[in-house]
Each structure stands twice: as structure tokens, then as C-alpha cells.
């Protein structure tokens, strides 16, 4: 399973980061999105992040230019069909992801491997919507992709050893480290991280502390680089809620019940940094707690 070309579905925060590291790793990348504006913004972001790496001496200007030249964009999903590996990085909704794979299937090469960057949804279930569950895996990058070292690799019940080995090799070629996770709700990182964030929201909801005291406590008392509420805003409160719902539905344990305050913020459209407001208000020069 020689992988040289990679198709990426979704040019948002995760998708453009994945395109960045694959292009820098020597792969030819085809980046797809439903919006031309989304593709244009992704290319600007990738260029800016590569420029930052050059300015910090992490890569050469030549490596930056070569990486940019390896990325092509398209609004047509089926253009990805002839790539060796396709990674879906669309919104964290199972209906959306399943529809993408169903649309792709008639246009794939026989040996194309399919992967999802899902942070919580069943790989086995997504794979069952395709014609190649043995060539389907979860490949979960951490955010921000160019910076974070870990990639979770999740095998579905039907994933072949050959597919698993091919993805281990790809992660190594990207200069990252893989961790093998079983196909249970939220895998490893988010199984641990998102309930911690949800508990911090409960502490806020119940008046145990305000936004500032909760975040300062975890940064200064537990040596976390970001407080849990600040981190929730960075991830996106809608994503945090979606993962908590997957955990609650998939494991049927009340300890995974999403905090009502988290639900309220999402209902208000206060999703964090990407919307300008979450547990902090980002519309001024300095973030200000909203509670």
C-alpha cells in the first residue's frame, strides 16, 4: 500500500493543518471543501503557518515553497477518488461524515484507504457505510496539527493489519508519534480530556469558582498550559458538547452527562474563539471572562 497522494475532505482548522503536515512530509495533497472561500482561507492559513516555521528556523524557505506547491484544491469531492489515502476532516456529526464516504465510494481506486479524523465517533460504524471496511481507519490528529506530536490510530473491527501498518508508516513519515486506541467512544485523549473540561464547566455552573479562578487553579495548581475553560474555547464548545454526547450515549454512564451550562452556551452560539465568544469574550484586545 504505497501512499503518495492524499485527499483531505474539509479545509477548516483541522483540515488545513492536516494538509500542511502532509505536504511538508512529501505527499501530494488534494484539499476539498464545499466553499471556495474556505479553500482560499485555508491556503492563507497554511502559508502563514509555514512562514512562521521558516522564521523560527524549523524548516527552510525551500521546504516551505515545495510544500505549498504540493497542495491543490477542489470544490468537487469526487476529485479525491484517485488519491491513495483520503482523510475526512469534516464537522463532528456522524450523518455528515457517513454521507461524505457514501458519495466517495463509487469514485475510489480499488486500493484507496479511507480514514476519518473523528475525535469520538465509532470507526466500525463509519467503515460499515463503505465498500472497504478493511481499508478504513480512524486517524485522529491533535489540534493544532502542525505543532502537536500525537496521532491516535483507531482500528475498526474489520480494519486489516496491512491498512494499520500503512498508516503507522505514514505517521512516521510525517515525523509524528502514533498511539493505538481501541474503537470505543472518544478513544484515549478525548475520553480523558473532554470529561475534565465538562467537570470544569460543572464547577462554574455550580458556583465553585468563576472562569478566572478555575483556569488559574488548573494552570498554577496542576501545571496545565491552558485552563480547561480556555481550552474548551480553543477546541470549540460545540465540539466539546458533541464528544460528551457521544460518550454519554455510547457508554450509558451518568458521569458523562453534559453540563447544562455547556449546552446553554452552544445554544446561544457562543462556541469559543471561532465565534468570538465562549467562556471568554474575544472581541476586544484581551479576552474577558463571560462569567
Q: Which residues are catalytic?
A: 119, 140, 152, 190
209-227 b/e with 16+ CB inside 10 Å = b?
eebeebbebbeeeeeeeeb
Q: Are strands 150-155 and 177-181 parallel, antiparallel or unpaired?
A: parallel
Tell me if 19 sits within 8 A of 71, measured CB to CB: yes
Query: How far apart are the C-alpha atoms of 75 and 21, rounded to whole Å?
Result: 21
> Residue 73 corresponds to which cell in the numbers above?
484544491
Does the CA dihedral 14-63-73-174 come out positive or negative?
negative
Q: List Cα–Cα distances, 209 to 28, 195, 204, 260, 262, in angstroms.
A: 49, 18, 6, 16, 15
Amino acid at each position: 500500500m504505497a501512499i503518495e497522494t492524499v485527499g483531505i475532505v474539509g479545509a477548516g482548522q483541522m483540515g488545513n493543518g492536516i494538509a500542511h503536515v502532509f505536504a511538508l512530509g512529501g505527499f501530494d495533497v488534494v484539499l476539498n471543501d464545499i466553499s471556495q472561500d474556505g479553500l482560499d482561507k485555508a491556503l492563507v492559513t497554511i502559508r502563514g503557518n509555514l512562514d512562521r516555521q521558516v522564521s523560527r528556523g524549523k524548516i527552510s524557505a525551500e521546504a516551505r515553497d515545495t510544500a505549498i506547491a504540493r497542495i491543490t484544491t477542489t470544490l468537487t469531492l469526487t476529485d479525491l477518488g484517485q488519491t491513495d489515502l483520503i482523510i475526512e476532516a469534516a464537522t463532528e456529526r456522524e450523518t455528515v461524515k457517513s454521507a461524505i464516504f457514501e458519495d466517495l465510494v463509487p469514485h475510489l481506486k480499488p486500493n484507496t484507504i479511507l480514514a476519518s479524523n473523528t475525535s469520538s465517533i465509532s470507526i466500525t460504524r463509519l467503515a460499515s457505510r463503505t465498500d472497504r471496511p478493511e481499508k478504513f481507519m480512524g486517524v485522529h490528529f491533535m489540534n493544532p496539527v502542525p505543532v502537536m506530536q500525537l496521532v491516535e490510530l483507531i482500528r475498526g473491527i474489520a480494519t486489516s493489519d496491512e491498512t494499520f501498518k500503512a498508516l503507522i508508516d505514514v505517521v512516521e513519515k510525517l515525523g509524528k508519534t502514533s498511539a493505538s486506541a481501541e474503537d470505543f467512544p472518544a478513544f484515549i485523549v478525548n475520553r480523558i480530556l473532554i470529561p475534565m473540561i465538562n467537570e470544569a464547566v460543572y464547577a462554574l455552573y455550580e458556583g465553585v469558582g468563576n472562569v478566572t479562578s478555575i483556569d488559574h487553579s488548573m494552570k498554577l495548581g496542576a501545571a496545565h498550559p491552558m485552563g480547561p475553560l480556555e481550552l474548551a474555547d480553543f477546541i470549540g464548545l460545540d465540539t466539546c458538547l458533541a464528544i460528551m454526547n457521544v460518550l454519554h450515549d455510547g457508554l450509558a454512564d451518568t458521569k458523562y452527562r453534559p453540563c447544562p451550562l455547556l449546552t446553554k452556551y452552544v445554544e446561544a452560539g457562543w462556541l469559543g474563539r471561532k465565534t468570538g465568544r465562549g467562556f471568554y469574550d474575544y472581541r476586544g484586545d484581551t479576552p474577558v471572562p463571560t462569567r
